[in-house]
Amino acid sequence: MSGEKRKLEDSETILGPADGPVTANKELPGISAILETYFNARGGLQEKSNSQGWLDYLYGVCLMKSKSENLAKQWLLRSVDINPYNWAAWQELTSSIGSVEELQQVSEHLPRNIMTFMFHIYCSQELYQTTPETYNTLTEIQKIFPRSAFLQQQKALLYYHARDHEQAMQLFDGLIADHPHRLDGLEIYSNLLYVLPNRPKLATLAATASDTDKFRPETNCILGNYYSLISEHEKAVLHFRRALALDRAFQAAWTLMGHEYIELKNTQAAIESYRRAVDANRKDYRAWYGLGQGYEMLECYSYSLFYYQRAAALCPGDPKMWAAVANAYAKCDKLANAVQAYKRALVVGSQVDSTSIASSFGSGKSADPLAQAVGGALDPQILYDIALLYERDGAWEEAAAYMELTLAQEEGPEDGDVGLGVMQITSRARLWLARWCHRNGELTRAMELANELCQDGVEVEEAKGLVRDIRSQMAYAEAHS
């Protein structure tokens, strides 16, 4: 602990020259050597009879900080097996698990007790596993601990990751009502209120947190989100830096500070903030996405593609991640891959049957199952982007099919759901189709689309010019018929 304190003192300012991996805890090698000698003299990993689990946990922490993750995992597993009620050991074990496959491998070596169930819920939530199995496990545990604030928080976070914002907000409100002075996890609630956006509630949360404890990183993150929402980005950065001054390992603050630096167009500082965020928690897809954004701003598209792919792999249920991957592919001139990624974004962001669409990936045929999709169910912007990629690739028929599909989103499906109505993006698709029909001699359809554009109030001048051209062409054709 004294080594960690000295490391913080030596690091000096946040994002300064001595901050980060440059400065290490000088006590770690000595502690690791003592523990290694101690355990080797008592039979190593295999011999558990002489241990109470505490030193095993400490050795696991030392190994994690030395980046010996596989060995650290073994010692942490041994620690939780001997002493399952040391929650810090479970948390350290969670930080070493980077995927669902790793969690399944680790699960085979875990003891069968209530703490293992708690760990499974916590770890699944950290890995954004909003599966029915996770919800069922959580519901079963809540029957045993109906008043547990920790379990209610995990449930709220699961709904937040599943983008069920209404349900997540109700759970967080209930949590605050039952435990008004508990600040754990409320920085995530402030993220939710920021995204909605709900300024009055966020202001109330910021005031409550400040009254409870001004010197908690959670409080400063909540204040940072509030200032960001009212576009005072410099003040937001100040609060995120305060959060990090209180706890350099508070990963949420690094990610949020990166977002603010992006807003302030300070790309280098944003990239460094996101790097520190993924160092603290490599499972944070928002930080990986932020790195992609940063490198895209620097026009380093192959780098941005790599980071967007990492974000999409961590959160495959978010269409925004796949759209970013597609955009990066397009910038790298990998058009087929870009179309595939955009189609993936449509699958995860729509109400269309994913099994029928999945077969269309990379098909390159106009008989794409997507083309049979109902109106109002797909994102018109993504459909329009796919059409433009097909146009860029010279696949005009496919481009026209996707422009038609973009236009179809204005109408609701036959079961009575309301469509999206006329939007700027659908009007652009209408203009493209009007030109396409005009070029192909389908003058009646072209005139119909151009007249609709005049009524939409979007691209009106272009539409009027097109109407004049079509009329003169029709008159010429009639005169010579």
Residue 349 has pLDDT above 90, yes or no: no
How crowded is residue 154: how many other Cβ atoms within 10 Å of its Cβ?
A: 22
The pLDDT tens digits of the residues spanning 323-345 come to 999 999 999 999 999 999 999 99
The pLDDT tens digits of the residues spanning 114-138 come to 999 999 999 999 999 888 999 999 9
The per-residue pLDDT of the chain, averaged, comes to 88
As a whole number, mean pLDDT of residues 245-256 equals: 93
Residue 416 has pLDDT above 70, yes or no: no
Residue 98 has pLDDT above 60, yes or no: yes
Which pLDDT score is estimated for 378?
Answer: 83
Which pLDDT score is estimated for 415?
Answer: 53
Which pLDDT score is estimated for 310?
Answer: 95
Q: Using alpha carbons, list the distances in angstroms from residue 211 to 181, 220, 350, 469.
A: 9, 12, 43, 68
Least confident of 29-43, 250-264, 355-369, 412-426: 355-369
d(CA 278, CA 386): 31
The pLDDT tens digits of the residues spanning 35-78 come to 999 998 888 887 777 788 899 999 999 999 888 889 999 999 99
As a whole number, mean pLDDT of residues 191-203 equals: 95
Which pLDDT score is estimated for 412?
Answer: 61
Q: Residue 64: what residue type?
A: M
* Residue 102 Cα to chain centre, angstroms: 20
Entry pTM? 0.86
Residue 373 has pLDDT above 90, yes or no: no
Residue 389 has pLDDT above 50, yes or no: yes
Contact 64, 92 (CB under 8 A): yes
Residue 371 has pLDDT above 60, yes or no: no
